[in-house]
Amino acid sequence: MAGHASRWTRFFFLGDARPTMSRHPASGAAVATSRPRPVRAPVALVVLTALTGLVASGCLPSDGSGTPSSAAGPLPTTGWVAADRDQLADGGTLRLAVDALPPTYQLGSVDSRDSDDALVADLFLPAFVTLTADGGWTPDPDYAADVRLLSTDPQVVEVQINPAAVWSDGTPVTVADFAANWQALNGSDPDYAVTSTAVWQDVESVTAGTDERDVLIRFAQPNADWPVALMSLYPAWAVDTPERFAEAWRTGPFAADGTTYVSGGPFVVTSIDSRAGIVALGRNPAWWGQTPKLDTVVFTAVTRTSQGQAFANREIDVVNLNSDADTYRTAQARSDASVLRSQGAVARQITLNAQAPALSDVRVRRAFALSLDREVLAQAVLSGVDSPVLVQDSLLFAPGQPGYVDHMSPLLDGGVGTARQLLTAAGYDTTGDQATRDGQALTVRFVIPADVPASSAVAQLVAQQAARAGITVTIDAVPYEKFFEHLENRDFDLTYLGQVGQAFPVASSEPLFYPADSPMNLSGITDAALGDLWRTANAELDPDTRTDLANQIDRRLVALVTVIPLFSEPDAWGVTSTLRNYGPAQFQSVRWQDVGFAR
């Protein structure tokens, strides 16, 4: 994926199973499990990182329950080459690759798939707040004359819309758009098939203040991650009914007439060729801000394994190395390009389907985790692109971020020896090389997308490492387009994914783990205590108290052993040497009207 999305990064999926309560056979803890029937679970990447308003470096001391974090690495949080607008040429076409065209242009829909979808939408969706290089946020003056917290009891947020802001068909951006987005995304109407209700579920009302450009968002209960709700906005006509939410933007971002492409950003879609896999965007003639430096941005669907060659052939201007050594060599060989790096927002992980019979016992899941050498796995992926290795030991924070505490490595003390003891306690015979129970070998199926070298390398090493504990791992490499179906149907035992970071992790990470039947919870189980913890954390406006609550959540998540964090993956991109204000970045939003080529 040659690009990053500065808005929500998502995992989306729907489940129709309802939770039932049971007692876990090993720990005795109350665990919510969804009934064993097919669900539409999530799809691709996830969300995590620093708390609202906090910088992306440094750490907090341990609270006695884990090991304090180490300092962040030497890479910058933003790695692109910056330039003032007067240093950029007027015009030009930026050519970017995506793995596939968006299956829908409605990012809130369960059919939206991965960060490529958000990348494309980034050019035409309004965002009233923008992320800074340190993971903080600030109002975007192109959209908001002001954004402020009017009161905390009750919590009321005011958004003063820029009076010049209009959809490209001439319709003003007003409180009606905000109200329609709230109604669609707050979870009150089950006919809206949404990926997440984060933040909006806590909103009581969206009303006009002094006029239709003055938006008052009143919360029924406090929510500290409220800026997340202001990072994208859809026109009211595209979301005001469940039918339009699902279908109006399925094949493109359309105006109310259903035929004209519409935009609330600096660029507007000019053409979509689904057969050729190309989306082209040009300058939005109704854009009220500074004129974009680029004339055109073109996204082309290129398979992951072909993107390096496309970059070498100068068919695209940017390539995400995706920790692939071949792509790295290709990028280095191109004379008019360079490799740019930044700290990464992606934490690589192995997700376990706890509804799979072989992994339903937490002792077996922990035994599998104990068999892994995460340092070796990280080196296998990162050494080929000369990226530093940093093992990750938290599910809510990245290494070096405020609040990061090592909760994972204490769970892994004992290695393979402890793994075999756990399997014995779970009823397996571990006297031989292979753990067996009732004559059946302990075997788990690792589903990965085909033709993704990093995934293949990790899966093969995992199979070798797990064998030391007597666990057989079979690798099932499925076509990329089928991979998502496997996730949606929870048709896997293990899979290899990435958690994509953003600046508001507490509310946005909740649906990844809670409840058990959350559209985004691939494991299918949860810890019943997480509901109250997340409600308290979401409502806590004091950052220190909230960090403590987040670490209580993190300890419980790690103890479930449904997600094994592996390592933080730095961003490394091959970029055309003259490109400015676009490239790898951990947090910072792209200001698309300032992206261009040097004079």
Q: CA-CA distance, 202 to 196, in Å (whole number)?
A: 12
**Residues sharing a CB contact under 8 Å with residue 199, sequence separation 6 or more, in sequence order:** 223, 225, 226, 228, 229, 507
Is residue 200 within 8 Å of residue 182, measured between CB atoms?
yes
**What six digits make up the tokens of 587?**
């947090």
pLDDT at 39: 29
Mean per-residue pLDDT pooled into runs of 10, the chain (599 residues)? 36 25 28 31 29 23 33 76 98 96 94 85 97 90 97 96 98 98 96 91 97 98 92 97 97 97 98 97 98 98 92 96 88 92 90 98 98 96 92 86 89 95 98 96 97 90 98 96 91 92 76 90 97 94 92 97 95 96 93 98
pLDDT at 44: 31
Q: Do the strands 579-580 and 525-527 form a parallel or antiparallel pair, or are they unpaired?
A: unpaired
pLDDT at 383: 92
pLDDT at 399: 75
Q: Which of 558, 532, 556, 537 is nearest to 547 (CA)?
A: 537
**Residues sharing a CB contact under 8 Å with residue 461, sequence separation 6 or more, in sequence order:** 376, 377, 380
Q: Which of 395, 533, 560, 404 is nearest to 66 (CA)?
A: 404
Alpha carbons within 13 A on the beta-carbon side of 526: 28
pLDDT at 419: 98
> DSSP character for 254?
B
CB count within 10 Å of CB 59 equals: 18
pLDDT at 529: 97
Q: CA-CA distance, 433 to 342, in Å (whole number)?
A: 43
pLDDT at 27: 29
Q: CA-CA distance, 265 to 130, in Å (whole number)?
A: 13
331: left (phi over 0), alpha (psi -120 to 50) or beta: alpha
pLDDT at 520: 86
Alpha carbons within 13 A on the beta-carbon side of 466: 27
DSSP SS3 for 344:
strand
Q: Which of 217, 246, 29, 259 is nearest to 129 (CA)?
A: 217
Helix spans in 480-567 (H): 480-488, 505-513, 530-539, 543-560
**Residues paired with residue 318 on neighbouring β-strands, in sequence order:** 575
Q: CA-CA distance, 207 to 212, in Å (whole number)?
A: 9
Query: What are the DSSP calls for 129-191, one per residue?
Result: EEE-TTS-EEE-TTTEEEEEEEEETTEEEEEEE-TT-B-TTSPBP-HHHHHHHHHHHSSS-TT
CB count within 10 Å of CB 228 equals: 26
Q: CA-CA distance, 562 to 508, in Å (whole number)?
A: 18
Cα dihedral value 286, 93, 113, 477, nearest 10: 170
CA distances from 519 to 195, 352, 512 (A): 6, 16, 8
DSSP SS3 for 455:
helix
How many residues in the chain? Answer: 599
pLDDT at 398: 78
Query: What are the DSSP calls for 202-239, one per residue?
Result: GEEEEEESSSTTEEEEEESS--TTGGGGGS----GGGT
